[in-house]
Amino acid sequence: MPRRGENIFKRKDGRWEARYVKEITLDNRKKYGSVYASTYTQVKSKREEVCKLLNDKGIIKNTLNNENMSYFIIQWLETNKIRLKSSTFAKYYNTINNYLLPYFKDIKIRNLNNKIIESFTVKLLEKGKTGNPLSPKTVKDILVLLKSIINYIEIDHNINLNIKIIYPKNTKKENNVLTKEQYINLNKVLLKDIDPCKFGVLIAMATGLRIGELCALKWKNICLSDKYIYVEKTMQRIKNINSNKPKTKIIEESPKSATSNRKIPIPENLLSLFYKFKNNSDCYLLTGQINKFIEPRSLERKFSKYIKEAGIEKANFHMLRHTFATMCIEEGFEIKCLSEILGHSGSQITLDRYVHSSFKLKKNWINKFSNQNISCL
| Average pLDDT for 165-183 | 82
Tell me, yes or no, whether 283 and 309 share the same domain.
yes
Tell me, yes or no, whether 350 and 224 share the same domain.
yes
Residue 370 lies in a domain: no
Calculate the alpha carbon distances from 278 to 38, 282, 289, 299 in Å.
58, 11, 11, 20
Q: Are 211 and 204 in contact (CB under 8 A)?
A: yes
Residue 369 lies in a domain: no
Mean of pLDDT over the chain: 85
Lowest mean pLDDT among 56-65, 102-111, 246-255: 56-65
Tell me, yes or no, whether 261 and 352 share the same domain.
yes
Q: Are 323 and 183 in contact (CB under 8 A)?
A: yes
Q: What is the DSSP letter of 261?
A: S
Q: What is the DSSP letter of 54?
A: H
Highest mean pLDDT among 66-75, 145-154, 208-217, 239-248: 208-217
Q: What is the CATH number of the domain that holds 246?
A: 1.10.443.10
Q: Are 328 and 217 in contact (CB under 8 A)?
A: no
Q: Read off the pLDDT band of 243 (50, 70, 90).
A: low
Model confidence, pTM: 0.70
Residue 165 lies in a domain: no
Q: Are 333 and 363 in contact (CB under 8 A)?
A: no
Residue 371 lies in a domain: no
Q: Quick one: which of 273, 268, 271, 272 has its CA closest to 194?
A: 273
For residue 46, the enclosing domain spans: 8-65
What is the model's pLDDT at position 64? 62
What is the model's pLDDT at position 26? 42
From 47, 65, 83, the end of a domain falls on 65
Question: Over 60: is that where the pLDDT of 138 sits?
Answer: yes
Q: What is the CATH number of the domain that holds 115?
A: 1.10.150
Using CA atoms, how far apart are residues 341 and 247, in angstroms rounded to an integer?
34
Torsion-angle region of 14 (φ positive above 0: left; ψ -120 to 50: alpha; else: beta): left
Tell me, yes or no, whether 199 and 226 share the same domain.
yes
DSSP 272-285: HHHHHH---TTSBT
Residue 106 has a CB neighbour count (10 Å cut-off) of: 11
Tell me, yes or no, whether 141 and 79 share the same domain.
yes
Question: Over 60: is that where the pLDDT of 16 sits?
Answer: yes
Residue 169 lies in a domain: no
**325-372 pLDDT, tens digit each:** 888 888 888 888 889 999 888 888 887 776 655 666 667 767 776 677
From 65, 85, 111, the end of a domain falls on 65
